Amino acid sequence: MKKIAILFGLAMGCAQYAYSAEPMPAGDAAAGEAQTMVCAACHGADGNSAVPTFPKLAGQGQKYLYKQLQDIRDGARPVPTMAGQLDGKSNQDLADIAAYYAAQSRTGGQTDPELLALGEAVYRGGIPERDVAACTACHSPTGAGNAPAGFPALAGQHAEYIAAQLVAYRRGYEDETGRINDGDTRIMRITAFGLSDREIEAVSSYAAGLY
């Protein structure tokens, strides 16, 4: 019964996770490409970063990218390495950048064989006794996410980056210096708060290897 309640709560959380009262402008990928030259230094020319601490943006859903760019620009998601990068960008500019990266193909990732069993168990089954819901509901069984709903893809993403975000969400459960831009339902903060360091490492590695 508790597992059913968790799954229901997760569904409600997913429904509100990327909600924005303001409609997203239609993005122009060609216009967005012209604005991404400076981004290439960290994220790669096509959005496939070579450095694990910088996320791959290629192939990410446009709605999710747009929301994150807005949150970073507006201070709702502090990212020190992005400080000043989006200053002066309009919502249309952000939509164009999101459209460009969404149109690119993401490179694959790998799962550490030693972490496979634990990572798969957490990703597909969650940990009900600790209110950790399965990742599949929002991020899909294949890690493709749900682009129309604004839920990010995890497949092929750097495991180190996924883990860093889970740690930031876990800190954000109690401390606003962590990551807190997961909506009023706090679905990612609640999920991450119930994960140990080892479980975060394992589920991040497993998600990275999905493709």
The verdict on domain 2-16+108-209 having CATH code 1.10.760.10 is yes
Using DSSP's 3-state secondary structure scheme, residue 28 falls into coil
Distances (CA, A) of 23 to 53, 67, 69, 121: 31, 11, 14, 37
Q: Is the pLDDT of residue 18 over 60?
A: no
Dihedral of alpha carbons 192, 196, 199, 200, sign = positive
Q: What is the pLDDT of residues 105-136, one digit of tens each?
A: 999 999 999 999 999 999 999 999 999 999 99
Same-fold call for 2-16+108-209 versus 21-102: yes
pTM over 0.95: no
Residue 176 · residue 157 · CB < 8 Å: no
Q: Where are the domains of the chain?
A: 2-16+108-209, 21-102
In this prediction, residues 188-194 reach a mean pLDDT of 98
Which CATH architecture group holds 21-102? Orthogonal Bundle (1.10)
